[in-house]
Chains A and B, each alone.
Chain A
Amino acid sequence: MQITLNGKSINTAFTSVYELKNNLYPDYETIIIINGFQINKDYKLSENDSIVIIQKGAVPSKEEFESMISARHTPKVYEKLKKAKVAVAGLGGLGSNIAVMLARTGIGHLLLVDFDTVEPSNLNRQHYFTGHLSMPKTEALKKQISEINPFINAETKNVYVDEKNIENLFRGYEIICEAFDNPESKAVLVNTVLSKMPSVKVVAASGMAGYFSSNSIKTERKIKNLYICGDFTNGAKPGTGLMSPRVQICAGHQANMIVRLLLGIEDV
């Protein structure tokens, strides 16, 4: 029968997945994913099954990686995301977490932009470790992404984003994620992109400080080509700091909106 094994179409006479595994990979322990679902007991093969068998504890090859993510995310979704390009502007609590989520989702090309280095005060919410202290955020994040999925192309630009360099920095990107901290910088990026780059969509954030209800954080399309995530009210200020849970909820909203847009869904 015809099945797909690690991304390749093959013809097999084996009737069960354990038979297949024991013949093809007799010497090592494996993870087996069948039609997007990881199994831990034998399974009777059917025509057109999609099987992923990878060695436990080893870094998969590019083909194995792709078939593994593809199996998890359904093949057509994965193909689209693999070809996609997304720019993340600002690599703090939002941007670092968003970039990691997009990398895990298999977005093929990421542009990571920030001017800053990793500081101890970032560790309460940003996706960095003590070993990254004093490193440029771009570099620290690129290193993590290469360990999460070595086949993501992560480009970095270590610059301060202002009105003058926006068009140059983000040329060629159809989706820009606004992940700055400072409200004036958020407004500058959004205004410049929406007025000078009319085909580009911006996924921005406003209001995620404190420990207010998780459910107050939403995604809205407020202006054509502008999606905003947040509670739109609670800015960071003395007494209302930025804390990991709500920052990550907001980052999740942004990352999911980006995935939806890449898959052609404009609805929030």
Chain B
Amino acid sequence: MKVNGKIISITKSQTLIDFLKDNNYEITKVAVELNGNIIPKSKFKDMTIQNCDSLEIVTFVGGG
């Protein structure tokens, strides 16, 4: 699958929230697009991701 433009491989399909946690993303600071669709935070635990998906994860850092 593609994550932020890089090809990676996952061994088993998993929920989006598990994928984000396993890869140390802070759930409250991200915006996620899966295959071109923005995924609301409430759906993170329901969405399953698998090889061939394309994921774009934006992490916000503080300051303004």
Residues of A within 8 A of B (CB): 90, 92-95, 179-184, 186-187, 190-191, 194-195, 204-209, 222-224, 226, 228, 230, 232-237, 242, 247
Q: How many A-B residue pairs have CB under 8 A?
A: 85
Residues of B within 8 A of A (CB): 28-31, 33, 36, 38-41, 56, 58-64
Q: Which residues of A contact B63 (CB under 8 A)?
A: 93, 181, 205, 207-209, 234-236, 242, 247
Please name the residue on chain B nearest to A207 by beta carbon. Answer: B61
| Interface pair B61/A181, CB less than 8 Å apart | no
| Interface pair B64/A224, CB less than 8 Å apart | no
| Interface pair B64/A180, CB less than 8 Å apart | yes
The answer, among A182, A224, A234, for a CB contact under 8 Å with B33, is A224
The answer, among A95, A223, A232, for a CB contact under 8 Å with B38, is A223
| Interface pair B29/A184, CB less than 8 Å apart | yes
Cα–Cα, bound, A190→B56 (Å): 14
Q: Most chain-A Cβ atoms within 10 A of its Cβ — which of B33, B36, B62?
A: B62
Please name the residue on chain B nearest to A163 by beta carbon. Answer: B41
Cα–Cα, bound, A181→B59 (Å): 14
Main secondary structure on chain B at its contact with chain A?
A: mixed
Cα–Cα, bound, A90→B30 (Å): 19
The answer, among B29, B40, B58, B61, for a CB contact under 8 Å with A223, is B58
Cα–Cα, bound, A95→B28 (Å): 22
| Interface pair B58/A233, CB less than 8 Å apart | no
Q: Most chain-B Cβ atoms within 10 A of its Cβ — which of A93, A94, A182, A233?
A: A182
A126 to chain B, nearest CB (A): 10
Q: Most chain-A Cβ atoms within 10 A of its Cβ — which of B28, B59, B64?
A: B64
Please name the residue on chain B nearest to A180 by beta carbon. Answer: B64
Q: Which residues of B contact A224 (CB under 8 A)?
A: 33, 36, 38
Cα–Cα, bound, A195→B39 (Å): 7
| Interface pair A92/B30, CB less than 8 Å apart | no
The answer, among B31, B36, B41, B62, for a CB contact under 8 Å with A226, is B31
Q: Which residues of A contact B39 (CB under 8 A)?
A: 195
7 A-B contacts (beta carbon < 8 Å) = A181-B63, A186-B64, A187-B29, A191-B38, A195-B40, A207-B63, A236-B63
The answer, among B31, B33, B36, B56, for a CB contact under 8 Å with A187, is B31
Known: A187-B29, A195-B38, A232-B61. 10 other contacts (CB 8 A): A182-B62, A183-B61, A191-B31, A195-B40, A207-B63, A223-B33, A223-B56, A228-B58, A232-B59, A233-B61
